[in-house]
Structure 1
Amino acid sequence: MTSTPRPGPRPRLSDTGPQRQLTQRSTPELWGRLLAGALAIPGVIEGHSQVSPASSRALFLVDREVERAPQTSLAPGRRVEPVHVHGVDDTSIHLCLPAERGAVLDSLGWAEPHQYGDHGTEYLVYGPRDDTELAIVLGIVAESIAFAR
């Protein structure tokens, strides 16, 4: 669980939907490692996002179809989708976290509230720019999976 500030200014995001990262994106190679690392988290399976563009990859829980509470999924009322990784032309991640934790990550510069969040638990996490950031972002993704459980 990181408490390290993200160095530098925040990336620029789109003003209109879908919410996407426009600057400071991951390289294609780093994005591939982000996706592989996210899929290596125990108890998740990859699928098509129910709420994000087709280039996004959703993480679903292997052992849970229905969310334990609506604020733990990006697609409440459907198969529980706590995380989706946006495509290589974006590289940010949408995920759900406890509101207090998301606020801490926002203050540290790693994330900001989802443009279209309904529960105050939906956040956009910026795509990692290097190996150090990759490890931190994968830790945040793991936190989201644990929150959904």
Structure 2
Amino acid sequence: MLTKPRLGFRPRVSTEGPQRQLSEKSRPELWGQLVAGIFSLPGVQERHSQVSPPTSRGVFLTDLASERSAETSLAPGQRLEPVHVHGVDDTSIHVCLPAERGHRLTELGWAEPHQYGDTGCEFLIYGPRTTAELEVVLTIVAESLDFARGNTERMSH
């Protein structure tokens, strides 16, 4: 999957507290489409995040409850949580991806490393500003779910 560069400036992101996006956020209706799109992916279940503020939604897999390795979960040692979606006041998401892929998305302007990441595979993905960006972000989420399942052959670096 080849990803094009994200246009425009990077959003401002918090430097302390829970990592969150401070500018360039999704409009509420686009954020709603993001949430709906994520939770309509096959084999996905919505629950409270184990590690993110209460306004966030944890993304869990119905076919895999335990992590293959710590790199695939935002909550290592707990139930597998490869992705969580931050609330409408933030609109970014956190995902786990192979480090090379996450760094490539960072170079392309879609992501930045998680400020509290433990494994180097945790990334903040900026909230989409347009429908075209929404499609890219949903693809990145699907890649994270594939990574959690051990299916990485569709990812490009």
Q: TM-score, normalised by structure 1?
A: 0.99
Aligned-partner Cα distance in 2 for 1:64–1:98: 18
Instruction: Read off the aligned partner of 1:7 and give its amino acid letter.
Output: L
1:84 is paired with a residue of what secondary structure?
A: strand
Q: CA deviation at 1:2?
A: 3.7
Aligned-partner Cα distance in 2 for 1:65–1:109: 31
**Corresponding residue for residue 4 of structure 1:** 4
Q: CA deviation at 1:74?
A: 0.1
Give the 5 Å matches for 1:15-26.
15-26=15-26
Q: CA deviation at 1:63?
A: 1.4
**Corresponding residue for residue 49 of structure 1:** 49
**Corresponding residue for residue 89 of structure 2:** 89
**Corresponding residue for residue 28 of structure 1:** 28
**Corresponding residue for residue 145 of structure 2:** 145
**Corresponding residue for residue 75 of structure 2:** 75
Aligned-partner Cα distance in 2 for 1:58–1:103: 23
How many residues end up aligned between the 2 structures? 149
Please, which runs of 5 or more residues in structure 1 have no aligned partner? Answer: none
CA RMSD of aligned residues (A): 0.6
Would you say the 8 A contact 1:2–1:136 is kept in 2?
A: no
**Corresponding residue for residue 58 of structure 1:** 58
**Corresponding residue for residue 100 of structure 2:** 100
Please, which runs of 5 or more residues in structure 2 have no aligned partner? Answer: 150-157
Aligned-partner Cα distance in 2 for 1:27–1:8: 16
Would you say the 8 A contact 2:91–2:127 is kept in 1?
A: yes
**Corresponding residue for residue 38 of structure 1:** 38
**Corresponding residue for residue 117 of structure 2:** 117
Q: CA deviation at 1:23?
A: 0.2
Would you say the 8 A contact 1:56–1:85 is kept in 2?
A: yes
1:139 is paired with a residue of what secondary structure?
A: helix
Instruction: Read off the aligned partner of 1:123 and give its amino acid letter.
Output: F
